Every structure is written in C-alpha cells, then in structure tokens.
Structure 1
Amino acid sequence: MAMLEVNHLAIQFGGLRAVDGFNVSIEKGQLYGLIGPNGAGKTTIFNLLTGVYKPTEGIIKLDGQDITGKSTIEINKAGIARTFQNIRLFKEMTVLDNVKVGLHNHHPYSTLTGILRFPKYHKVEKEMNEKAMEILKVFDLDKEAQTLAGNLPYGKQRKLEIARALATDPKLLLLDEPAAGMNPNETQELMDTIRFVQKHFDMTTLLIEHDMKLVGGICEELTVLNFGQVLAQGETSKVLKDPAVITAYLGE
C-alpha cells in the first residue's frame, strides 16, 4: 500500500483550475520530487495535502486513510508535516522550545495542569525535553538548544525547521524548497541531512525544489507540473531527460 495516494485532485479558484487532475502514488520510505515552473501549482498541491485548501475534486489517502477535506490540525495528527519556502520558526523562542512545539501533539497536558504545575506537567516537560534533545542531536543542533532560533545561521534554521516538523512524528514529510537561499556548501549539507533523515527516521518525503542538482541527487522519482497538470512522471533520471520537461522547465 502506498504511503500517499492522490487521485484526480483538482481545485478551482473562480474560473481558474490551479490544479487539474493531479495523480501521484508515493511508496513508504520513498523520497519523491515535485518540480515545475513558477506558478505551475506545486505549492497549491502542498496546501491541498495539508488542509490549507479544500479540493474541488479528487481523493487524498495517507497510509490508506482518506484525509480529503480534513482540517490542517486533523491532517497533521494523521501524519503529514511540512516545512515552508519562507522559514516559519518561532524566532524569539529557543531552538529547544521550537522542537517542543512539535511534540505537544504526542505529549499533551491540560491548560490547568500547565498553569498550576501539577506533577503531570513536570513529567511531560521532562519527557519533551529529552525527546527534543534526541532530535536536535540528530541534526547536530543540541549545542545550540538554548540559542534563540532567530540567531542561528540560515542553514541551521532550515535544519531546525525540519527537526520541528519531525517532532510531530509524521508518516509523510513535505519539504517546500528547503534549499532556497542556500549557498552550494549549505545545499550539500542539506542533501546529506535529508538522506540521513530518510534512513534514521524511516521517513517518506515529498520535496518541492528548484535546485536540480539537489533533486537529481536525492529524489528517486519525480512528477513535473506545468499549468496545474502533470507534464511528466517517473524515474528521476528519465524525467529530467524528457524533451517536454526540458522545453517547459529546464529551458535547455
């Protein structure tokens, strides 16, 4: 069974069909790429998968569960986490507390417990601190645990955003242009990080990216969008050599 199964997905804004008949099947443990020119509908698909938009048509299944039209919170709890092209960390909070935000779905306590500091509060906080530190060590960010997130270098902020997403214990991780704004050294480090996450967390990942070196280096399969429709789909090396893809996107 596929981890993500999307059939005939579509959304219409007024008279514009921003996504039209989108299909994709992503297997558990796969690292899958979604590419296309600006305005092709990539981020719209991420917004459909995460409940920001409700589809006009189509079915979205995560690990066999129909999540079509569910709320963002329901979809996150079902197992989809995402990062954003523009980093959305809590920059005035510490690195540790940013990761703990992602852990609250799985380590809950009531507002009253938090206010009055009942024993459960201290127990849960201790568990979250330990788990957050474990995740930060994976990303080599444990030494910056008490640093304000906004004071981290850009590349480390990207890594922290992925760490926070993983703290929600997702089945599917959506990465929205994670290499945006990075220099070549940072991009290479990011590629190594994503590979490690795939293996260490047994993760399934869907990636939007414009950096073709990164896409070609880590994605097993690709879907290329153009004007909201699938232009090409399949093994990465073959898709990147497709004449239609070269004409529409790579421009070579």
Structure 2
Amino acid sequence: MAMLEVKNLGISFGGLRAVDGLDMTIEKGELYGLIGPNGAGKTTAFNMLTGVYKPTDGVIKLDGEDITGKSTIEINKAGIARTFQNIRLFSELSVLDNVKVGLHNHYKYSTIAGILRLPAYRKAEKEMDAKAMELLKVFNLQDEWDYKASNLPYGKQRKLEIARALATEPKLLLLDEPAAGMNPNETGELMDTIQFVCKNFDMTVLLIEHDMKLVSGICQKLTVLNFGQVLAQGKTSDVLNDPKVIKAYLGE
C-alpha cells in the first residue's frame, strides 16, 4: 500500500485554477521530490496535503486513510508533519523546548499534575527531555540544547525545524525548501541528514526544493508542476533530462 496517494487533486481560488488534476503516488520509505518554477503550485499542493487549504476536488489518502479536507490538527495526528520555506521556530524558547513542543501529543499528564509538578508530570518531562536529546543528536545539535532557537545559525535552525517535525512521529514528512538560504557545505550536511532520517526513522519524505544538486542527489522520484499541472513524473534522472522540464524549469 502506498504511503501517500493523491488522485485528481485540484483547487480553485475564484477564477484561478492553482492546481489541476494532480496525481501522485509515494511508496513507504521513498524520498520524493515535488519541483517546478516559481508559482507552479507546489506550496499550494503542500497546503492541501496538510489541511491549510481544502481541495476543490480530488482525494488524498495517507497510508490508506482518506484525509481529504480534514483539519491541520487532524492531518498531523494522522501522520503528516511539515517544515516551512520561512522557518517557523519558537525563537524565544530553547532548542530543547522547541523539540519538546512536537512531543507533547505523545506524553500525557493532567493540568493539576503540571501545576503542582506531581510525579506524573516529572516523569513525562524527564522522558521528553531524553527523547528530545536523542533527536538533537541526530542533527548534531545536542551541544546547543539550552541555546535560544533564535541564536542558532541559519543552517542549524533549519535542522531544528526538521527535528521538531520528527518529534511528532509522522508517517510522512513534508520539507518545504529545506536548503533555502544554506551555503554549499550546509546543503551537503542536510542531504546526508535527510537520507539518514529516511533510513533510520523508517520515514517517507516529500520535499519541495529548487536546489537541483540536492534534488538529484537524494530524490528517487520526482513530479514536476508547471502552471498547476503535472509536466513530468517518474525517476529523477529521467525527469531531469526531459526536454519539457529543461525548457520550463531549468530555462535551457
């Protein structure tokens, strides 16, 4: 069974058809790319997958469950987490506490236990601290656990956002331009990290990205959008060598 199955997905804003007839199937464990020129409909597609926008038509299934039109919270609980093109961290919280935000759905204690700091609260907090540190070690952020998120370098903020998304224990991780603003060394580290996450967390990843070195280096398959419609789809090497893609996306 596919991890993500999208059939005839579309959305209209007034008279504008932003995405039209999107079909996409992503198998469990795949690292899949969604690319295209600016304004092609990539972020709009992400917003439909995560419940920010409700599709005008079409069906979205996650691991066999129909999540079409559900709320952002319901979709997150079903198993989709995402990062954003513009980093959205809790800038005044510590690095550790940013990751713990993503863990709270999995550790429960009563309001009274929290106010009075009863044993149930202390036990949950200790477990969350340990789990958050495990995730920070994956991204080599463990030494900055007590830094304010805003004090991290840009590349490390990107990694922290991915760590927080992973803390929700998703089935499918959506990465929106994860390499944006990174220098080549940071991008190389990010490529290694994403591949590590896929392999060691049994994670399925869908990413939007303009960095073709990253896309060609880690994505197994691609879908190319242009003017809201699928221009090409298939194995990464085949798609990137498609004359239609080169003309529309790479400008050559």
Residue 82 (structure 1) aligns with = 82
User: What CA distance in whole angstroms lies between the structure 2 residues aligned with 1:59 and 1:112?
Assistant: 42
Q: How does 1:4-23 map to 2 (within 5 A)?
A: 4-23=4-23
Alignment partner of 1:41 is 2:41: yes
Unpaired runs of at least 5, structure 2: none
User: What CA distance in whole angstroms lies between the structure 1 residues aligned with 2:13 and 2:113?
Assistant: 44
The two structures, once aligned, show a CA RMSD in angstroms of 0.7
Q: How does 1:170-189 map to 2 (within 5 A)?
A: 170-189=170-189
Residue 130 (structure 2) aligns with = 130
Residue 58 (structure 1) aligns with = 58
Q: CA deviation at 1:116?
A: 2.2
Q: CA deviation at 1:118?
A: 2.2
Q: CA deviation at 1:112?
A: 2.8
Residue 194 (structure 2) aligns with = 194
Of all paired residues, the percent bearing the same amino acid is 80
**CA deviation vs aligned residue, 1:120-142 (integer Å, no higher than 9, x gap):** 11111111011101111111111
Q: Which amino acid aligns with 1:172?
A: L
Q: Which amino acid aligns with 1:36?
A: G
Q: Secondary structure at the match of 1:60?
A: strand
Residue 156 (structure 1) aligns with = 156
Q: CA deviation at 1:239?
A: 0.3
Residue 113 (structure 1) aligns with = 113
Alignment partner of 1:205 is 2:229: no
Q: How does 1:97-108 map to 2 (within 5 A)?
A: 97-108=97-108
Unpaired runs of at least 5, structure 1: none
User: What CA distance in whole angstroms lies between the structure 2 residues aligned with 1:124 and 1:241?
Assistant: 51
Residue 219 (structure 2) aligns with = 219
Q: CA deviation at 1:35?
A: 0.2
User: What CA distance in whole angstroms lies between the structure 1 residues aligned with 2:111 and 2:3?
Assistant: 34
User: What CA distance in whole angstroms lies between the structure 1 residues aligned with 2:212 and 2:135?
Assistant: 28
The list of structure 1 runs, each at least 4 consecutive aligned residues, that deviate by more than 3 angstroms after superposition, is none
Size of the aligned set, in residue pairs, is 252
**CA deviation vs aligned residue, 1:9-33 (integer Å, no higher than 9, x gap):** 0111001110101010000000000
Q: Which amino acid aligns with 1:67?
A: I
Residue 241 (structure 1) aligns with = 241
Q: Which amino acid aligns with 1:20?
A: D
User: What CA distance in whole angstroms lies between the structure 2 residues aligned with 1:51 and 1:202?
Assistant: 24
With 67-76 and 111-120 compared, the bigger mean Cα shift is at 111-120
Alignment partner of 1:71 is 2:74: no
Q: Secondary structure at the match of 2:169?
A: coil
User: What CA distance in whole angstroms lies between the structure 1 residues aligned with 2:226 and 2:76?
Assistant: 28
User: What CA distance in whole angstroms lies between the structure 2 residues aligned with 1:112 and 1:14?
Assistant: 48
Q: CA deviation at 1:177?
A: 0.2
Give me the TM-score of the superposition, normalised by structure 2.
Answer: 0.99
User: What CA distance in whole angstroms lies between the structure 1 residues aligned with 2:115 and 2:107?
Assistant: 16
Q: Which amino acid aligns with 2:224?
A: V
Alignment partner of 1:144 is 2:160: no
**CA deviation vs aligned residue, 1:49-90 (integer Å, no higher than 9, x gap):** 000000110110000011111110110011000000011011
